[in-house]
Structure 1
């Protein structure tokens, strides 16, 4: 969506702040011995306490309030009886609807103790996301986001998953523009209008360039099981630069 007035912006700020706080609480609660369902219950309780609804449940009838993926899975994992273990790489994606507006955020967490390589992957996953955010300019090309992320990945020896993309958000979980590559797509001629609301969510990997859907119909995993992280913010393109809505 493209924001048309201050009331819309305030509602997007509210739901953005809620999903950000929910993600933060789930990340802090993450520990060996708990199940991913117990972690999901924490997220559900926070969303419902403020009158919000899980966006994947609402939009796609997803079997959970949040998406929790335990490596090598990296997206759309179903919360369940999987027990968190030390050394796990876990992605949590939180999106919700509140008062007709949607917010979307996500992050990957390494459960200590983990290797230096995985710690660096997580740190660089955040850096890749921010390199894309800094490329946002009203009137600029939308593919500059992917160009910036790809440049970062190439410089630091990573690959990018290229069958998962960022997207518009706001009045629905997946709003216009529907797909925003987090790699450079020179054929993409779209520009960024002022007020555009969208996510930036690169999947940075130690070798994977695509993911495959598992038999459960949801969970996504690199076929080579390469460690892969995702970090995601919802933002608005403003004349003063990108306004991130999903910061705590």
Structure 2
């Protein structure tokens, strides 16, 4: 599919923007909206971090077609709905053309539809912040929240049944814990022991390093010296290699 110059310029600006703010904020996707008058009855935009597409239609949504490098994929919307969310985490990086088909009316013979086309570029893997420690912008990780149906692209189904919200903890569940004097002393003693153990471990490591770096000294060989286990006396062979006889000749 041939890209228009305006779209290429838009993508260039988006890539520059993402690269300059990459270390601080993450934008996973970019959208190139359809600004034609005939497309005003379909609101289509991404959330702040670009991980979810929001569609709000004046008419019932019929289906969504996505055209990418792998070809055309069609997702039928069998439920009667005008609003839907589409998580984009299952789409690999690349450019996609979205065709949203609306049902404008029907009679005994025909179903009258209208198609709105726009483009989305997937810029980064959505789970990238986990492996690189990046802090993303506001994202819709908990996609089951709210009442807007979700189109699961990976499963090709619409999710409308959301789990009920969990009850808030009661005040009785958050009672403060009171510690007596004996318990406080035990906690302080335990903390002091942990600090001493950590200090001892650091000292032991330093001593080992210094011991390994000590220069090796040995006492010169002398036949009259009595060897003991704690003395490092030069061997006879080493003495003969590095010294001369009293008459000035080398040892054989």
Shared fold by TM > 0.5? no
Q: Which category of TM-score, normalised to the shorter sequence, fits these structures?
A: under 0.3
Q: Tell me which of the two structures has the higher relative contact order, counting C-alpha pairs closer than 8 angstroms and 6 or more residues apart.
A: 1
TM-score by length of 2: 0.26
